[in-house]
Amino acid sequence: MDFFFDPVFLEHDTGQHPESPKRLESILEYLEDTAGTKKPENGEKYLPIAHTREYIERVKETCKRGGILDWDTPVSRDSYKAACLAVGAAVDASEHKGFALVRPPGHHAFADHGGGFCIFNNMAIASLRLAERGRRVFILDIDVHHGNGTEELVLNKAGVRFLSIHQSPLYPGTGLENRGSNIINIPLPPGTGDREYIDVLETRVRREMEEFEPDIVGISAGFDTYYDDRGYVSGNEFNLTTATYKKLREILEPYDTFYTLEGGYNPVGIREGIKALTGI
């Protein structure tokens, strides 16, 4: 599997913040000794697939000065470049069945605003681009937080189905019900562990994917569901081990897949999660 990574992802400086470059250190060390990484393309040209021109300009200008895009989404001088390359990495991953090992994450980003540490919506852009080319894309969002930005961007879009499994109650507070013709939300309570989560994967997730018959499955891979991610950000209380990520790999076996990194704040959880999910 190709891992798309650019060193500029480490230059997106968020200060004292859980979404920091440290998150990627452990998996990068592991990849150095194993699969290696590939440089992604610059995804700036893809931004209008999901974002308004006004918002793109606002991000660019805010990054020049440094500051905050949203109360919990700080940006620095290199953040615009990092965010554009993160989009490029997601598009490359979607073309090569790869993994976009990116910062910033994307699933809380909307057409005209960012939030929740996200600037541009990497997964929505890659998926909508594939759908425009006539491919059927099933997005599976396994971050502990609801992928509210992705949901809004793909709502009622032909050729795309979105399924999010997330903790409720928790930020951003949405994702309590299905919406439109293509949005499936599965909120689960704090304390959810392997047994309950695997049951959902083996029944509802498997069934929804079989029914949709996707050409490709895009996984918004957040590892803040990991049992040892607790305490890095507030309120995430799932207790998943690598057993769940391995089971998901088994369920995804029949499909072409691509991955974009979303949350997960314990560097060990990210490394072990990626290993279990992708089999590297």
Q: Which long-range contacts (CB under 8 A, 24 or more apart) does 208-215 make?
A: 208/138, 208/161, 208/163, 208/184, 209/138, 209/140, 209/251, 209/255, 212/136, 212/138, 212/161, 213/136, 214/136, 214/137, 214/138, 214/161, 214/255, 215/130, 215/135, 215/136, 215/137, 215/256
Does 113 participate in binding Zn ion (rule CB under 5 A)?
no
If one asks whether residue 143 binds Zn ion (CB under 5 A), the answer comes out as yes
The amino acid present at 280, given as its one-letter code, is I
Smallest separation (angstroms) from Zn ion to the CB of 158:
28
Our CB check for Zn ion shows the closer of 56 and 69 to be 69
Under rule CB under 5 A, residue 263 binds Zn ion = yes
Using the rule CB under 5 A, give the single segment among 46-54, 125-133, 205-213, 258-266 that binds Zn ion: 258-266
Instruction: Please tell me whether residue 269 binds Zn ion under the rule CB under 5 A.
Output: no
Each residue 201-230 as x (binds Zn ion by CB under 5 A) or -, in order, gives ---------------------x-x------
Which of 108, 113, 145, 146 is the catalytic position? 108
Given a contact cutoff of 8 angstroms between Cβ atoms, the answer to whether 211 and 185 are in contact is no
Q: Is 145 a catalytic residue?
A: no
Residue whose CB is nearest to Zn ion in the complex, by number: 263
Q: How far is the CB of 122 from Zn ion (least distance, A)?
A: 14
Report CA dihedral (123, 118, 75, 79) to the nearest 10 degrees: -10
Nearest approach, Cβ of residue 117 and Zn ion (Å): 8
Q: Are 12 and 81 in contact (CB under 8 A)?
A: no
Residue 205 or 270 having the CB closest to Zn ion = 270
214 vs 222, beta carbon nearer Zn ion: 222
147 binds Zn ion (CB under 5 A): no
How many amino acids of this chain bind Zn ion (CB under 5 A)?
5
Q: Which is nearer to Zn ion, 159 or 222 (CB)?
A: 222
Q: What share of the chain is helix, strand, coil (3-state, %, to 5)?
A: 40, 20, 40
Looking at 81-89, 129-137, 148-156, 256-264, which segment touches Zn ion (CB under 5 A)? 256-264
CB of 57 to Zn ion, least distance (A): 27
Q: Are 194 and 243 in contact (CB under 8 A)?
A: yes
Show the binding pattern over residues 31-60: x = contacts Zn ion (CB under 5 A), - = does not: ------------------------------
Residue 187: both structure tokens together: 């909120």
The residue with tokens 């992705």 is 150
- Give whichever of 2 and 143 is closer to Zn ion, judged by the CB atom: 143
- Judged by CB under 5 A, which of 145, 146, 161, 166 binds Zn ion? 145
**Assigned token pair, 37:** 């990484």
d(CA 222, CA 37): 19
One DSSP character per residue, 97-124 reads: T-EE--SS--TT--SS--BTTBSS-HHH
User: Which residues are the active-site residues?
Assistant: 108
Binding stretches for Zn ion (CB under 5 A): 143, 145, 222, 224, 263
